[in-house]
Amino acid sequence: MQQLTFQEPGRLEWIDVPAPRLASDEGALVRPLVVTTCDLDHMIVTGRVPLPGPFPLGHEFVAEVVEIGDAVTSVRPGARVVVPFQISCGRCGRCRKGRTSSCENAPVRAAYGLGPIGGLQWGGALSDLVLVPFADAMLQPLPPGVAPTAVASASDNLCDAWRTVAPYLAEEPGADVLVVGGGAVSISLYAVAVARALGAGRVVYLDVDPARGAIAERLGAEVQIGPHPGRAGEFAITVDASADPDGLACALRSVTPYGICTSVGIYYTDTAVPLLEMYGRGVRFVTGRVDARAHLPHVLELVASGRLDPTPVTTARVSWDDAIDGLLHGGAKPVIVRDGAQ
């Protein structure tokens, strides 16, 4: 079968590899239909995150079930499904608590399409077939009426955005939200869209890039373009998607007493934080990988209801045959569509 392989920054290749086979009666084989890039993918392809190749690429996707093991009951061949990017069994202690990013029955950080980070054995979404080892636990049927292109990012980035605001808006309905963008590009914009969909009060978006600011404005945010201020006001909920120490400090200093800041930016060096100010305000701080499978049903329900439209974040729609060009030149969030996928 064909698999798109990351070789080095700026160089991607389709190569022939053996097709995966079912390894147990609880697995499934799926055929990716629509794939998009995670914010981390974009940084890998452009060389901003120096991961060594080669490895199969792609981990945000909607697929068609091709074959199932004898024990699988939740899906049938032909079903369209969203595939969470992390491998999770659904039955271990962590999975039962919703901590699906750290399944006890999968290797540490096991995930599709992330090579040295997630393990080479899982393959990537930009392939003709992908093995899902725990089909009943992992696969989430695509809701009726929802286009695969609208929720390609539900495997990861949409869920990552949802968890930064949704649980806390449930605690404090109508709360004001600050999103500091710039690093995790699509997550920051999806966070704006989710906050608006869930009835946040003010949603303020900070960034240094006017083009991203224009998208945030279309999604309903008040936009401020320029360097990160020391403090942007007071918000019960703040999101750091900047991957910039100044952006993180701004998000932390802008939290109201007993509010919460979630950081989805990845920091590769030790990073200072204003702990004394956080201590004085009782700021809660959350960081770490998203538990994508646990949040996936909530995200799909929000899209299916018509309250959340993720499509303004898409930067290009690209045919499967043009995937390499789309990944290299299609902006931060291209959606790659196989023939026949609507």
Same domain, 16 and 131: yes
pTM of the model: 0.96
| Number of independent structural domains in the chain | 2
List the domain range (segments joined by +) for residue 23. Answer: 2-156+290-337
Q: Is the pLDDT reported for residue 217 higher than 80? A: yes
Same domain as 218, residue 113: no
Look at residue 48 in the predicted model and tell me its pLDDT.
87
Tell me the helix, strand and coil percentages in the chain, rounded to 5.
Answer: 30, 25, 45
Where does the pLDDT of residue 293 fall: very low under 50, low under 70, confident under 90, or very high at 90 and above? very high
pLDDT, tens only, 257-291: 999 999 998 999 999 999 999 999 999 999 999 99
198-221 average pLDDT score: 97
Domain with 172 in it: what CATH number? Answer: 3.40.50.720
Structure tokens at 59: 């981990």
Asked whether residue 275 falls in the same domain as residue 326, the answer is no
Extended beta strands in the chain, E state: 2-8, 11-16, 28-36, 55-56, 60-68, 80-83, 130-132, 140-141, 177-180, 203-207, 222-225, 235-240, 255-263, 284-287, 316-319, 334-337
**Beta strands 177-180 and 235-240, pairing class:** parallel
For residue range 76-117, what is the model confidence (pLDDT) as tens digits?
999 999 999 999 999 999 999 999 999 999 999 999 999 999
Inside any domain, residue 192: yes
Residue 13 shares a structural domain with residue 148: yes
Do 281 and 300 reside in the same domain of the chain?
A: no
The CATH number that applies at residue 328 is: 3.90.180.10
Q: What are phi and psi of 85, to 5 degrees?
A: -75, -20
**Do 200 and 315 sit in the same domain of this protein?**
no
Token pair in block for residue 131:
């093995």
Question: Are residues 279 and 302 part of one domain?
Answer: no
9/148 same-domain check: yes
111 plus 226 within the same structural domain: no
Is the pLDDT at 306 greater than 70? The verdict is yes
